[in-house]
Amino acid sequence: MRSINNTSINFGLVNVAVKVYAATENHDVKFHQRHGGQAGCRGLLGRQNVCKDCGQVVEFGDIVKGFDVDGATVILTGDELAAVENEAGKALEVVQFVHAEEVDPMLLQAPYYLEPSAASLSGYALLREVLTETDRVGMVRYTHRGRTHLAVLRCAGAVLVLHNIAWPDELRAPEFAILTRKVTLEPKAVKMATQLVESMMATFDGAELVDVYQRRLAAVVEAKAVDTPLPVVSAASADGGVEDVSDLLAALEASIKRHPAGEGRGKPPAKRAPAKRAAVASKAAARKAVA
């Protein structure tokens, strides 16, 4: 990995020099704009949409998406891309319910690993120890590439991780008039919904979750690369086999049938043992007494 920035962490008068590394990578299929249309040569487009192969200026409507496979270029049309997106579905589908504490904060956007310099290893270890023992995170403000950022500093095992977060004034107010309407929930609906959540509980495992869109897109690219028919996706597979249920209670009942009671396998959130909490308090008291 290559560091993207050299900086330092300042807490109080302690300065810890660190290198910053991007902790995530993009798994999306990488496309390039190509010269399409009836007379298109499929060449790469340069600045101002000029084809690098034939030198023509390509009209917007003739720009297509190209993907390189073993030296050959696979062209996907807008309709084919739209079809893949429709097959993946645009609904916000809940696939699991998990305890919030089980979701690794590393899944948040823009996590960065922080590597200490040799001279700052002791200060790095000290900050890591304090954050771990006190179950706390640091609120960080820093400027990079012409912008001041707000971030959270936390521990992830032996490494310190920086998570960018939005500034408070960057968040839009949820001004939706419909939310002011009074809603009366039937006790039966609340009970059934609770039962459904419990039956869908699971221990969070990111490896079990699949990027359906990217997998489907890769299958289409592979099929076109060898000039074979595109894989067919049935309607049931595309929409998850969801029934047309408009009534709330009926939908809950149908959902519960799909997830029988007792099927949930979630575990309760991990809690720090009382003994460890006591030990932390004892250490804090001892340090205060010494001071």
β-pair partners for 161: 113, 154
Tell me how far apart the alpha carbons of residues 43 and 62 are, in angstroms, rounded to a whole number. Answer: 12
pTM of the full predicted structure? 0.58
Question: In one letter, which amino acid is 261?
Answer: A
Residues 16 and 142 in one domain: yes
Question: In one letter, which amino acid is 226?
Answer: V
Tell me how far apart the alpha carbons of residues 238 and 129 are, in angstroms, rounded to a whole number. Answer: 48
β-pair partners for 68: 73
Q: Report if residue 256 sits inside a domain.
A: no
Residues 129 and 14 in one domain: yes
Residues 112 and 151 in one domain: yes
> What's the pLDDT at 274?
43
**193 pLDDT above the threshold of 50:** yes
Range of the domain at 58: 32-76
Token pair 């067919």 in the structure block, residue: 232
> What's the pLDDT at 283?
44
Residues 36 and 55 in one domain: yes
Nearest CA to 185 out of 248, 254, 238 is that of 248
**111 pLDDT above the threshold of 70:** yes
Which tokens hold the place of 229? 């028919």
Burial (0-12, 13-18, 19+ Cβ within 10 Å), 127: buried
Query: What is the mean predicted confidence (pLDDT) over 230-239?
Result: 59
